[in-house]
Chain A
Amino acid sequence: MAGVSEPGSRTVENTAPIAPEVYREMGLSDEEYAKVCEVLGRHPTYTEVGMFAVMWSEHCGYKFSRPILRLFKKYREAIDGAGLENAGVIDIGGGYGIVMKMESHNHPSAVEPFQGAATGVGGILRDIFTMGARPIACLDSLRFGPLDDARNRYLFEHVVGGIAFYGNCVGVPTVAGEVYFEDCYSGNCLVNVMSVGIMKHEDIAFARAEGPGNPVMLVGSRTGRDGIHGATFASVELSEESESRRSNVQMGDPFTEKLLIEATLEALKTGHIVGIQDMGAAGITCSTCETSAKAGTGMKIDCRKVPLRETGMSPYEIMLSESQERMLAIVKKGKDDEVAKVFKKWGLQAVVIGEVTDDGFVRVYDGDDLVAKVPAKSLADDAPTYYLETEEPRYLAEVQNYDLSHIREPEDYNEALLTLLASPSIASKEWVYEQYDHMVQTNTVVLPGSDAAVLRIRETPKGIAIVTDCNGRYCYLDPFVGAQIAVAEAARNLACSGARPVGVTDCLNFGNPEKPEAFWQFKRAVEGLAEACEFFDAPVVSGNVSFYNETPEMSIYPTPVIGMLGVLDDIEKRCTSEFKNEGEIIVMLSGSRGDDEPVCELESLGGSEYLKTIHGIVAGRPPKLDLDREKRVHQTVLELIAKGLISSAHDCSDGGLAVALAESCILGGIGAEVQLLANCAPASALFAETQSRIIVSLPTSGLKALREIAESHQVEPNVLGRTKSDRLVMSVNDVELLNVPVSELHAAWRGSIASKMKESGL
């Protein structure tokens, strides 16, 4: 028996102190341990100290991030009011609501990329269908170190493989995402998975253990020893030792998850389930105490009734296991057989392990022995809150004040463009998304590769557009502006698809919050996000914080990834990014107030892909962002799409104007001839990542109407040239700088990642 040698009291009577090295190893500080003793009025049992350690970890308890997250309006209102569940549902009309959430699985993926990424998908899907929603899409936002390193290629290959393994099997399409490659993610890759679900409003399910006397059921997989203290693992930095944490990583079983989706949605339809919560981090501990805390009830369970995968598991192990594909369901008294019948039909176990009580305690029995008796609220809501220090990082002044005036022009602009297109952060992600089933459920109207994925909403004329976004380099150079640009760019991508933003979910990836400089980055980024999301009327409805993304060598760029949802009231009025016809006019919509304003500014080379890829420099300030100007550009393009005036719309972002034009050429298989007037160095005109710009193409006949609409939004349309034949030709101030066949652009852009992965000889 594993329990025999456990270093602590087994039952709640006459408990002895837990040795400091034992609770510290679990992640509790001396002060926190003292608080546990104060809450209980005695020393905790071994099972109890494990439960507190995991629930009070940053991963579950948000003990560091909570004060900052209050900057998000909906979060603040929900915490102070009715709870987070209702707040997470976005009304899209027609009686339908969308729920969405994003979560990180960074640390597990860094040590076991395949299972780490796979279980990331599984976990986020359960968050969606336990709310009563059917998952309709997944997105993935990934970050790795450069692909010339074998370890990075290994992580990339297996993370994508794990996502494909899980997502394809459960039959939820992976429709969009992003992948960036930067040095700072070597050794600490980021795997952020987002899921989107749809429900009728009346079908919402709650994670509440209402009704004392109601049976508590455990449904789905058996419980094993996998993933014990996974949440604790997520709350420390990665190190040499992390490799030995492989056993903290859970194993995914997408087949069981698929059955669980169908069975849960069917069981909810019986009306007998009063509350349901999935088991992710902290397993049975988290689901029992959170559901009781929310309902103001208590719960008693017998861990001997939990179906086990292995023999000899102790209560401690059972309570902390993070075995996947399990849920806790609270069922109306006397209806447990009917609910079990549904799960059994799908070949799943559903076992009563206890019942709801009314005194606020979660009691865990091991047969007749009481091994834990803990106030539910103290575990779920009373994690100590820390107000951490912030300090502006020392590197900032240096990188921001970097003098960009000495940056030389490239010797060959064609070569520079081809190099940028082949840069894995810009290159086609076909190698990735072809491994994902992005069409199952037959709702995907705009497939991966355009600015945003577009899905139809069956039985309505509507559609939704979804996108994830974050340029970590911008956030490194200025976390506030970088975070705002993530929001602006996501909204711009939606606008280019014909959708207006309605909500945001986020996944905030940062370094060690206990270091004041990292916490400063976190605070500034959240301030930027909160302001920008309110500005675009796209409230943050859910989210996840992932700290400790660092190794002894380096920390990641602050990477506040956002997932944004947009609505198309009429899905027929949508747009994509590729040029459609030769001989059309190409117009750049920007927020500038007149022709006399330069199309570029030197400083906006700061943080650009050009500066990094061609000159090997990560410095400067990120491009300026004027939210009001940005919104006017979106309104313009939305009106143009709604009136059917334009053939294509593409957002101008990484790689600047030249890359945006090249992408529209490549995707459409059509060339373009473009003349720019610029009062800056040509490289800036071509490659600066100036914000608030959208490239559209349209028949000549529509130009007058376009001008009128643009002017009504105080947006100046810059006519750049025409779509034409099979080459991209660009001149700046009447000097031809670029002249490349589209086929050559296509080859550089499309084959880049695949060839890098092939060379690796994995």
Chain B
Amino acid sequence: MKFGVVIFPGSNCDRDAYYAVRDVLRQPVEYIWHQTTDVSGFDCIILPGGFSYGDYLRTGAVAKFSPVMSAIQEFADNGGRVLGICNGFQILCEAGMLPGALITNVGLRFICKYVHLRVENDSTEFTHVCESGQVLRIPIAHHGGNYYCDPNTLKRLESDNRVLLRYCDPAGKVNEAANPNGSLNNIAGIINDRGNVAGMMPHPERAVESLLGSEDGTLILQSIVERLS
């Protein structure tokens, strides 16, 4: 199977995602330039973190017009796996490929730190090597990670079991104190209707080696590999 990592102008976690796939998962991986309109040959496309186009406007608001995005939309429509991490998640929401939006953190400041995440649904393409209720330790680094959607959408997300990950305390309790950015229902990651497009604010690619302090992010990436291989 082959991974692709998109480079938008201003992406800055593209290399990290690339290394995680190549050096830790040991899977084939290639960069995808934002002006490309052909994404054939890939099995999973990662939209990495960063500040696409500087994000001087709303996060992801410019990137969604990149030529590559229509190709990725088509790729997803045909069942291709897409994982948006941080800025990638923001772009997927802006592009309408995932519901809701990511607004400015309640504290109005950028936050970079390790957080705990509870796996909510272990039957997805992105989490199936985890177990529901399992607590993962993965870093966040964002200024706009506050997940928001309208009440109906939220209800549907919850009833369809499409919340992948929630911010929690080390014991797995989901509460206000463990919510770093004000996200509705402590949501840290979600999946689309069809189950092939996922977005998450935490950075799994930063938690793939014990040297870096955690290997829990590997579980997310490994889930994709195992299902597709």
Shortest Cβ gap from A14 to chain B (Å): 48
How far apart are B143's CB and chain A's nearest CB, in angstroms?
A: 8
* 8 Å CB contact of B12 from A171, A253, A444: A171
Q: Which of B15, B112, B205 contacts A436 (CB 8 A)?
A: B112
- Per the bound structure, the CA–CA distance linking A435 and B107 in Å amounts to 11
Contacts of B209 in A (CB 8 A): 442
- Would you call B10 and A440 a contact (CB within 8 A)? no
Bound-state Cα–Cα, A171 to B9, Å: 12
User: CB of A571 within 8 A of chain B?
Assistant: yes
Expressed in whole angstroms, the minimum distance between the Cβ of A139 and any Cβ of chain B is 15
The one of B9, B49, B211 that contacts A255, using a Cβ cutoff of 8 Å: B9
Contact of B205 among A170, A171, A442 (CB under 8 A): A442
Is residue A169 within 8 Å, beta carbon to beta carbon, of the partner chain?
yes
Q: Which A-chain residue is minimally distant from B113 (CB atoms)? A: A434
- A442 and B113 within 8 A (CB): no
Looking at the complex, which of B51-59, B128-136, B219-227 is the stretch in contact with chain A?
Answer: B51-59
Q: Residue-by-residue, is A429-456 near B (CB-CB < 8 Å gives 1, otherwise 0)?
A: 0000111111111101101000000001
B19 on the A face (CB < 8 A)? yes
Report the Cα distance A405→B209, complex, angstroms: 54
Interface string of A238-271 (1 = CB under 8 A from B): 0000000000000001111011000000000000
Are the CB atoms of B206 and A442 closer together than 8 Å?
A: yes
Residues of A within 8 A of B13 (CB): 171, 440
Given A168-B110, A170-B12, A255-B10, are A440 and B141 neighbors across the interface (CB < 8 Å)?
yes
Number of residues of chain B lying within 8 A (CB) of chain A: 31
CB distance from A759 to the nearest CB of B (A): 15
Q: Is A346 interfacial (CB-CB < 8 Å)? A: yes
CB B144 to nearest CB in A, in angstroms, measures: 12
A571: chain B residues within 8 A (beta carbon): 211
Of A255, A435, A442, A447, which one neighbours B51 at CB under 8 angstroms? A255
Q: Which of B6-23 contact A (CB under 8 A)?
A: 9-10, 12-13, 15-16, 19-20
Q: A93 contacts the other chain (Cβ, under 8 Å)?
A: no
* Residue of B20, B141, B211, B212 touching A168 (CB-CB under 8 A): B141
CB-based contact A255/B213 at 8 Å: no
Report Cα–Cα, A435/B49, bound state, in Å. 16
CA A346 to CA B11, docked complex, whole Å: 12
Please give me the residue from chain A that is nearest to B213 by CB atom.
A447
Most A CB contacts (10 A, CB to CB) among B12, B112, B205 go to: B112
Q: Name B12's closest neighbour in chain A (CB-CB).
A: A171
Q: Which residues on the A side are within 8 Å of B139 (C-beta)?
A: 439
Q: Does A594 contact B (CB under 8 A)?
A: no
B111 part of interface (Cβ distance < 8 Å): yes
Tell me the residues in window 170-229 of chain B with beta carbons closer than 8 Å to chain A beta carbons. Answer: 203, 205-206, 208-209, 211-213
Q: Could you give, for residues 464-484 of chain A, a 1 whenever the CB lies within 8 Å of some chain B CB and a 0 otherwise? A: 000000000000000000000
Q: How many whole Å from B187's CB to the nearest CB in chain A?
A: 21
* Bound complex: CA A249 to CA B53 (Å): 24
Determine whether B84 belongs to the interface, using a CB cutoff of 8 Å to chain A.
no
Binary CB contact string for chain A from 408 to 443 against chain B (1 if under 8 A, 0 otherwise): 000000000000000000000000011111111110
A255→B53 contact, CB < 8 A: yes
Interface residues of B in 87-146 (CB under 8 A from A): 109-113, 139, 141, 143
Write the nearest CB–CB distance from A645 to chain B, whole angstroms.
21
Q: Is A164 an interface residue (CB 8 A)?
A: yes
Does chain A have a CB within 8 A of B50? Answer: yes
Q: How far is the CA of A571 from the CA of B13 in the complex (A)?
A: 23
Chain A, 130-184, CB within 8 A of any chain B CB = 161, 164, 168-171
What are the interface flags for B55-95 relative to A under an 8 Å C-beta threshold, 1 for contact and 0 otherwise?
11000000000000000000000000000000000000000
- A347 at interface, CB cutoff 8 A: yes
The residue in chain B whose Cβ has the minimal distance to the Cβ of A255 is: B54
Given contacts A171-B13, A442-B212, contact A435 B112 (CB under 8 A): yes
B19 cross-chain contacts in A, Cβ below 8 A: 442, 458
Closest to B23 in A: A458
- Give the shortest distance, in Å, between B24 (CB) and chain A (any CB): 10
> Pick the contact of B141 from A253, A255, A258, A439 — CB < 8 Å?
A439
Residues A169 and B10 in contact, CB atoms below 8 Å apart: yes
Q: Which residues of B contact A445 (CB under 8 A)?
A: 211-213
As a 0/1 sequence over residues 18 to 58 of chain B, the CB contacts with chain A under 8 angstroms (1 = contact) are 01100000000000000000000000000001110111100
Chain B residues whose C-beta falls within 8 Å of the C-beta of A441 in the assembled complex: 15-16
Bound CA–CA A442/B85 (angstroms): 15
Q: Let me know if B54 and A254 touch, CB within 8 A.
A: yes
Query: How distant is the Cα of A438 from the Cα of B110 in the complex, in angstroms?
Result: 11
B residues near A164, Cβ cutoff 8 Å? 109-110
**CB-defined contacts of A171 to chain B, threshold 8 Å:** 12-13, 50-51
Q: Look across to chain B and name the residue whose beta carbon is closest to the beta carbon of A167.
A: B110
Q: Could you tell me if B51 and A254 are in contact, using CB atoms closer than 8 angstroms?
A: yes
Residue in A434, A435, A442 whose Cβ sees the most chain B Cβ within 10 Å: A442
CB-CB nearest in chain B for A443:
B212
Contacts of B113 in A (CB 8 A): 434
Q: Which of B9, B54, B110 contacts A435 (CB 8 A)?
A: B110
User: What is the bound-complex CA distance between A448 and B209, given in angstroms?
Assistant: 18
Taking a contact as CB atoms under 8 Å apart, the answer to whether B109 and A439 are in contact is no
Q: Is the CB of A456 within 8 A of B211?
A: yes
15 contacting pairs across A/B (C-beta < 8 A):
A168-B51, A168-B112, A168-B143, A169-B51, A171-B13, A255-B10, A255-B51, A256-B54, A258-B51, A346-B9, A435-B110, A437-B112, A438-B112, A439-B212, A442-B212
Apart from the given pairs A258-B51, A445-B212, 4 other A-B contacts in the complex at a CB distance below 8 Å:
A434-B110, A438-B112, A439-B112, A439-B139
What are the nearest 3 A-B pairs in CB distance?
A171-B12, A255-B54, A169-B51
